[in-house]
Amino acid sequence: MIEYDVIVVGAGHAGIEASLACARLGFKTAMFTIRLDNIGEMSCNPSIGGPAKSHLVKEIDALGGQMGKNMDKSFIQMRILNTKKGPAVRSLRAQADRKLYANNMKKTVEKQENLDIIQDIVTEILHEGNKVTGIKTKNGLELKTKKLILSTGTFLNGLLYIGDKKLEGGRMGELSAKDLTKSLVELGLEVRRFKTGTSPRIDGRTINFDILEEQPGEIGKPLKYSFSSKDEDVLKRRQLSCYLTRTNQTMHDIVLNNLDKAPMYNGTIHSTGPRYCPSIEDKIVRFSDKSSHHLFLEPEGFDTTEVYISGLSTSFPASYQQQMVNSIKGMENAKIMRYGYAVEYDFVSAQELDYTLETRKVKGLYLAGQINGTSGYEEAAAQGLIAGINASLSLMNKEPLILYRNSSYIATMIDDLITKRIEEPYRMFTARSEYRLILREDNADIRLSKYGHDIGLVSDEEYNKVLEKEKTVKDVVEFLDKTSVGISNTTFRDLLEKYGETTKSGVTLKEFLRRPKVSYEDIKNIVKEMGIGYNLDFRDDIEYQIEVVVKYEGYIKKAYQMIEKAKKLDNWKIPSDFDYDNMKGITGEAKQKLKEKRPYTLGQASNILGVTPADIAVLIMYLDGRLKC
């Protein structure tokens, strides 16, 4: 029988990151996919990023993942969002050439040493007691493995809906993985069902772009997701424009007058869909006070005329989709190339997971991506990377990588999944993090690269660049703090007048930069006139971080004070065999939740729904030895 150290089921965003992590750490890995041609496929919107999601991509990169590197080689448009808002929500968003992104990922996994890619459907999980031993496949293969990572996306018992048409599949034109759910149920895992959907794709030649609002990419700035990508490579990439239009009352009437044709409203689909990315029919019904909704027309790539309509996810019958599209400004004569559809699929309740993403009931079984009840490419990739890292660390007999909420959005997501009951597909938002001013996308490398380097996924060369960046920011902030400027400096005097600022005497450069209208570029000009020979010219990302650190210093200090308080709880480790049953003085609900979740620290315990501050106080006394079980 063939044996692998790790088997990964699924070759989407989660499966790819898990497979690459295990193989790069030296383990013999197999990645199973239903179709080799669809490795790295972007099933829905051909984009990556946006608030919190771009933060995840940069955190994946800092830990040694692939998503950011691949997008930097595949984008057709790159923009910065929320530039007029604070740095906590500033984010990149990129449109991908769908085929190029998938092809680049396929090349990456095919060239990866220690990684075998196999086209087959996994039908059964083999186990001895509560420990994974291998898998069986549709083609009759039986393989042994020490670790199994399931990243099945929407393919687990997937059903597709277009009006009254119902097809088996996890994606249009692809088979469903029907048999694996039975194995999961037999292992005692709680399996539930969610729904998601996708929008129609339009022939761009039939869209009147001339009357629509154009949204071009940002040219001339080295915008990128990976800290290792070269500025010159991203700068030379050609970019395509997206376009903005809106729904209207005519289109709303088509939807409202035909809700009996929509599977979400006629009782055909009973499972819950994503609240923050609803179907157009759900959007129109729920927000009946709005006369229109934004739609974004996004090209699918350089070598195709297909255009994705972001915001028009639907499962209406094909004929009604055509009516809806033709009622929209700029698309009066548009032709649909691919119709939208809904997909219903099985997932495992994340309550079954440990913080390593290993299931509590079955040793050696890890889950990552939509199988955990999440939505989004970025959320899936982050989980895949963590699952792959922890499966590998377990094989090395090393301590797992457990990230805490104050370290990353990845940790926030995993903590949310485990401590909260997920009733709808989970999506990452900046608002989900109480530490969002610290967890900015511009400092993800500084926050997390040490972990990636220690694990072995970030090279010495890349890590040294991060250390150099960190030192540069610190040194420049110290220089600005100890260097003063007075009105004898012409540039300084002109800037005071320009911005309507006043000063009775000189100020430090740090104090001046803290003023809202003053930019880092202004500070550079002042220093040049001073002629003191101190160079302030750095890469854009370093200069931006210096400015953020200075301008938001007070808020950042308060955030770190919050983190220090939280660290006190995270420093209290809870033994894995702690006896909750014999504890006295805590509620029955808290006892049950703590037994289910088995938190590693008091900090994690305090985030569990049903565990009160009073319960934590009692737990502290037990851990401190003041009370005995």
Summarised one tens digit per residue, pLDDT across range 272-299 is 888 777 899 999 998 889 999 999 999 9
> Among the three residues 543, 568, 593, which one is the final residue of a domain in this structure?
568
Q: Is 157 helix (H, G, I), strand (E, B) or coil?
A: coil
CATH number of the domain that residue 174 is part of: 3.50.50.60
The answer to whether residue 265 is domain-embedded is no
**Residue 277 annotated as lining a ligand binding site:** yes
Say yes or no: 142 and 18 in one domain.
yes
- Interstrand relation of 242-246 and 213-215 (parallel, antiparallel or unpaired): antiparallel
Last residue of a domain, one of 568, 584, 602: 568
- Which residue type sits at 194? F
Examine the domain organization and report whether 386 and 502 are in the same domain.
Answer: no
Same domain, yes or no: 98 and 166: yes
Say if residue 441 is in the same domain as residue 537.
Answer: no
Is 283 annotated to bind a ligand? Reply is yes
Whether residues 600 and 551 fall in one domain:
no
Q: Are residues 401 and 467 in the same domain?
A: no
Do the Cβ atoms of 444 and 87 come closer than 8 Å? no
Q: Are residues 602 and 620 in the same domain?
A: yes
- What percent of the residues of the chain are helix, what percent strand, and what percent coil, each to the nearest 5? 40, 20, 40
384 annotated to a ligand binding site: no
- Of 408, 439, 460, which residue is a domain's last? 460
Which among 408, 46, 70 is positioned nearest to 228, based on CA atoms?
Answer: 70
Same domain for 42 and 174:
yes
The amino acid at 614: A
What gap in Å lies between CA 317 and CA 340, rounded to an integer? Answer: 9
- For the chain, how many structural domains are there in total? 3
Collapsed DSSP state (helix, strand, coil) of residue 486: coil
In whole angstroms, what is the distance from residue 112 CA to residue 131 CA? Answer: 28
Q: Print the domain residue range for 501.
A: 461-568
The alpha carbon of residue 558 and the mean position of all alpha carbons in its chain are separated, in whole angstroms, by 26
Question: Does residue 300 sit within a domain?
Answer: no
Q: Is residue 257 part of a domain?
A: no
274 marked ligand binding residue: yes
21 assigned to some structural domain:
yes
Is 51 marked as a binding-site residue? Answer: no
Q: Is 287 annotated as a binding residue?
A: yes
> Does the annotation flag 50 for ligand binding?
no
Give the CATH number, domain containing residue 618: 1.10.150.570
Is 282 annotated as a binding-site member?
A: yes
**Sheet with 159-162: strands ordered across:** 165-168, 159-162, 341-348, 191-198
Neighbours of 512 (CB within 10 A): 23
**The predicted structure's pLDDT at residue 83:** 86
Examine the domain organization and report whether 61 and 165 are in the same domain. yes
**What's the pLDDT score for residue 311?**
94
- Whether 342 has a binding-site annotation, put simply, is no
Amino acid letter at 99?
A: K
What is the rounded end-to-end Cα distance, in angstroms, of the chain?
Answer: 47
State yes or no: 400 annotated in a binding site.
Answer: no
CATH number of the domain enclosing 522: 1.10.10.1800
The verdict on whether residue 276 carries a ligand-binding annotation is yes
Does 470 belong to an annotated binding site? no
Consult the annotation and say whether 55 binds a ligand.
Answer: no
Looking at the fold, whether 134 and 72 belong to one and the same domain comes out as yes
360 in a labelled binding site: no
Residues 493 and 452 reside in one and the same domain: no
Amino acid at 26: G
Q: Which residues of the chain have pLDDT under 50?
A: none
Does residue 291 lie within any of the structural domains? Answer: no
Does residue 273 have a known ligand-binding role? yes
Domain contains 251: no
Residues 105, 139: one domain? Answer: yes
Question: Would 134 be classed as within a structural domain?
Answer: yes
State yes or no: 286 annotated in a binding site. yes
Q: 313 in a domain, yes or no? A: no
- Spatial separation of the C-alpha atoms in residues 436 and 434, rounded to whole Å: 6
